[in-house]
Chains A and B, each alone.
Chain A
Amino acid sequence: MNLLDVKGLSVEFHGDEGHHQVVRDVSFSVPENKCVALVGESGSGKTVISRAIMGILPAKSRITSGQILFRDNRKTGEKVDIAKLPPAGPAMRAIRGDQIAMIFQEPMVSLSPLHTIGDQISEAAKLHRFVGTKEAQELTKDMLRLVHFPEPERAIRAYPFELSGGLRQRALIAMAMICRPTLLIADEPTTALDVTIQAEILKLIKEVQAELNMTLLMITHDFGVVTNMADEVVVVYNGEIMEKGSVEDLFLTPQHPYLKALLHAVPSLSMEPDERLVPIRPIKPRAHHSDLQPSPVGKAYAFRGTPLIELEGVCKSFTFKNLRGKKRRGMTTALDNVSLTVRRGECLGIVGESGSGKTTAALAMLRAFPLTRGKISYTTEDGPRDIQGFSEKELFQYRKRAQIIFQDPFSSLNPRRTLNEILQEPLVIHRIGDSLSQGARIRELIDLVGLSPRYLRRYPHSFSGGQRQRIGIARALALNPEFLICDEPTSALDVSVQAQILNLLKDLKDELGLTYVFVSHNLAVVDYISDRVAVMCKGKVVEVGPTRQIIDNPIHPYTRALLKAVPEPSLEHKLDFSSLSGTSSSDPTQWPSPYRMRYTTVPYLVEIETDHWVCAPGMESMRDIVGLGGSHI
């Protein structure tokens, strides 16, 4: 039996530029007690479809044709056409929040900042169940318990800003669940969350679905989430359904070229070492070897594998301010005794969740801020030099060697300068060449990242996210650096574009002999691009080693938890929900011995196998007895 049938749905937006169809003739069904995933890239129209079902389309859009048939199991058992109901009318309001409920993408902005979560959760119960305040409170506590909220009694009176992102999402789920809806729509419920929390939330949704006999419609762009959650899949592109069917059919025998292309573009931990992603829109970088300065390139090959940058016991604390930005409210340790080596010609991935200090570590290598403690040395032709000791002039020269690609392709390009000016900027700053040779260099760079010279007079707002990221790469390469930091360069991009950028970075590294530090929260991406990986948590490096060793043989409990939580876009490697501990794996005081760390414990790395180091302070005392190596890697 189908709970929901969408038939020939078309939705139109009318903006200032006229009308355009965002959803075109979409038909699919959601069978009872199943989970259907609606998959697509940004702008595909998947969210619009979900809003149409809820009857909460934005004011400037309108259903032009089609039916949304929902079986009203609670009252009549008849099918109601939601598309025909006035969205703000009593009939639709009676369904919305009671029988169909929704979990939104961003828990941060989906809750009112000025109302307690108890108030917000109990609201739907008061509206549909006509219960009193007392009873509603009891129901709310039940729901909070259901979503494993610690201390439901207290949580009822908490305000959203007092909760972490994961707890906010739990509160949102409790809110959607309180009337025990028959259909739950989850719109990217885990996109804004860290991977370990994502796994817990996914597990929670599954549990709740089973317990309350719910039907689930899941909106997502993440194939890893799809394979782990869905029974059936609907693939949307540009407002149209490209392919739909059971999850097995779609993943094992994809038919449509779009789906096939998409599946080839997604990196996964189970890829072969030499397997290459196939972007939907491939680009061909063309490097003009003769024009590029050969010296650093040649050197890079000659000294491949020798240390380029070494971090020794690097500490960095920030003082943070309170809400009004006035008083100092204490210190936070962003980097805690970080020791790392970046070798010439390699790509070192730094992985961690938000707040782990991975970006801070990368920026420290560029001397973006002074260190609290520790030393960072960079190997130049004259041997290793402490970058903290650089004079103004030396630092200026260092900027030519080390460059960065930023995470946000939108804010990293000055919107007021043309592509030409953006690429010229580094050359002007370092007074390289006259305008003629600069022009030639700019055309080289454009070629290098596969953009057309016709774009040179355009401003950044005309480019798509992927194109902007390529501009960012070209700008970083303008000064012929030997060392490049990539700070989550693909996290703001769609999968299809992500593959393009990853391949470009891979190719450039080989062609120009670059050294990368690749910062990411996405293990699969890091696995695809890097030779070695450093895992960071709470400002500490917990495990470093060759990528394959870390992935296949993780030692540290945090690394294990992280790997266990990554949803793989394949049917063979499903998440093992039952093994998720539930306790906070990112709390160093909760780690088992010898990994446990107290507030004052100094991180200590131990070499477990060749080149594979693990932070295990508990082993330090045994060092002299067993004869394990020092903490320098």
Chain B
Amino acid sequence: MLNYILRRLLVMIPTLAAISFLIFFIIELPEGDYISNQISMLRSTGESASIGRLEFLRKEFALDRPFVERYGIWVGFWPGPNGFDGLIQGNWGWSFEYDQPVGEVVGPTLPLTVALNLATILFIYCVAFPIGIYSATHQYSVGDYTFTLIGYLGLATPNFLLALVLMYLANSLFGLTVGGIMEEHYIGEPMSGGKALSIVAHLIVPVIVIGTSGTAAMIRRLRANLLDEIYKQYVTTARSKGMRESKLLVKYPLRVALNPFIADIGNLIPSLVSGSVIVSVVLNLPTVGPVLLGALQSQDQFLAGFILLFVSILTLIGMLVSDVLLGYLDPRIRLGKEGARQ
């Protein structure tokens, strides 16, 4: 098993390299860079006093070098003006907009980003699992139809619109402000029970909003998987031993249907991360989402690049976890089919 995990980790390295290159390419797509834009703006307004400093910064951040070299410097396998000093060395870059290291801009938002995504995954599994089982075992019942309908609605409603609608409803019906991460009077205060509670309370809506479409997709898939399994021959075999139907269901088809369910985390995570970015913008949550949006709009390239890389790594780790779980759950993967003893 350890071997398997190690192998999977090794495979991740070239993937990461490809992803980082792709991301660097994308953030470098817009013409010019943050500083040369500043320079041309200053030139057009006739203020040339600080141009010298900006020119210096351009050199300092190697923005005058060719593309591939810049990429190497960013990642840290090519010497920049200050020697090898890139992502690998732990230098996450400089945010021009905030005039701070990227780490300090992004740092405070990372825990919440991870927490939000984890909470959403938990939410999806806790909700989708029982409902999926119910729908499969009560096929074509009123409950099944209701859940299917809600599921379709959940799939069809983009989560930022759902956030908008929920915010409107909460505001107009209950006079609540849903946005933000805690009630305003806690901001700046030291951590306390009340503050933590407020944070949790404020996480509920975004978790539901981000998780809805994923939950709907999961319910549909679990239902379909389970319906596939229920009519398989090995279930009949078990039934012919005289097992109770409920016990039978849990031990066999559910167990088998669990595998695709776990494997789906991998497919789910990219869309969850996408969802969390945009929902954070709408709900004004201090995750990386709003920071990314701002960075993209102002061409704050190192900041944007780092955040893109971070969310990609988040999805890669999620996929790794789902693969490892699957390997643990499925003997066919764990033992390898070719390891047959006969």
Contacts and interface: CB of A to CB of B under 8 A. Distances in A.
Nearest to B253: A112
Interface string B201-241: 00000000000000000000000000000011110111111
B107 to A, nearest CB: 39
Nearest to A93: B242
B53 interface: no
Interface of A: 54, 56, 58, 88, 92-98, 101-102, 104, 106, 109-115, 120, 123-124, 127-128, 154, 158-159, 161-164, 167, 172, 175, 322-323, 329
A96 B240 contact: yes
A379 B103 CA distance: 78
A158 B256 contact: no
Given A112-B252, A323-B333, A104 B241 contact: no
Contact of B332 (A93, A104, A164, A323): A323
A148 to B, nearest CB: 13
B342 A163 contact: yes
Contact of B339 (A56, A113, A124, A162): A162
Contacts of B251: 115
Given A54-B240, A88-B245, A97-B243, 12 more contacts: A56-B236, A96-B239, A97-B242, A112-B238, A112-B256, A113-B332, A114-B256, A124-B242, A127-B242, A161-B332, A167-B342, A322-B337
B340 interface: yes
A92 B242 CA distance: 8
A114 B239 CA distance: 17
B242 A162 contact: no
- Of the listed residues B234, B329, B335, the one surrounded by the most CB atoms of chain A closer than 10 A to its CB is B234
7 contacts: A111-B237, A114-B330, A114-B332, A127-B241, A162-B339, A164-B342, A322-B336
Interface string B247-280: 0000110011001000000000000000000000
Contact of A109 (B233, B238, B243, B337): B233
A123 B241 contact: yes
A106 B232 CA distance: 12
A104 B243 CA distance: 17
Contacts of B340: 161-164
B233 A110 contact: yes
> 10 closest pairs, A vs B, by CB?
A97-B242, A97-B241, A323-B337, A124-B241, A96-B242, A93-B242, A109-B233, A112-B234, A159-B331, A164-B342
Chain B interface size, as a band, is: 20 to 34
B245 A95 contact: no
Nearest to A155: B341
Contacts of B245: 88
Contact of A104 (B237, B337, B342): B237
Contacts of A96: 239-242
B184 interface: no
B185 interface: no
A101 B255 contact: no
Interface of B: 231-234, 236-245, 251-252, 255-256, 259, 329-333, 335-342
A163 B232 CA distance: 20
Contact of A98 (B238, B242, B331): B242
Contacts of B240: 54, 56, 96-97, 101-102
B242 A94 contact: yes
B31 to A, nearest CB: 42
B332 A56 contact: no
Contacts of B332: 113-114, 159, 161, 323
Nearest to B339: A162
Contacts of A323: 332-333, 336-338
A122 B333 CA distance: 24
Contacts of A158: 341
Nearest to B329: A114
B243 A93 contact: yes
A172 B255 CA distance: 20
A329 B331 CA distance: 19
Contacts of B341: 154, 158, 162-163
Given A88-B245, A93-B243, A97-B241, A109 B338 contact: no
Contacts of A164: 340, 342
A178 B339 CA distance: 28
Nearest to B240: A102
Contact of B242 (A110, A115, A128, A161): A128
Contact of A106 (B233, B331, B336): B233
Given A56-B236, A159-B331, A123 B243 contact: yes
- Of the listed residues B245, B256, B336, B342, the one surrounded by the most CB atoms of chain A closer than 10 A to its CB is B342
Contacts of B236: 56, 104, 110
A112 B259 CA distance: 13
Contacts of A159: 331-332, 335
B188 to A, nearest CB: 52
Contacts of A123: 238, 241, 243
Contacts of A58: 231
Contacts of A114: 255-256, 259, 329-332
B301 to A, nearest CB: 37
A95 B242 CA distance: 7
A106 B243 CA distance: 21
Nearest to B139: A59
A75 to B, nearest CB: 14
Nearest to B232: A109
A127 B248 CA distance: 12
B335 A322 contact: no
Contacts of A106: 233
A323 to B, nearest CB: 4
A56 B236 CA distance: 7
- Of the listed residues A110, A124, A322, the one surrounded by the most CB atoms of chain B closer than 10 A to its CB is A110
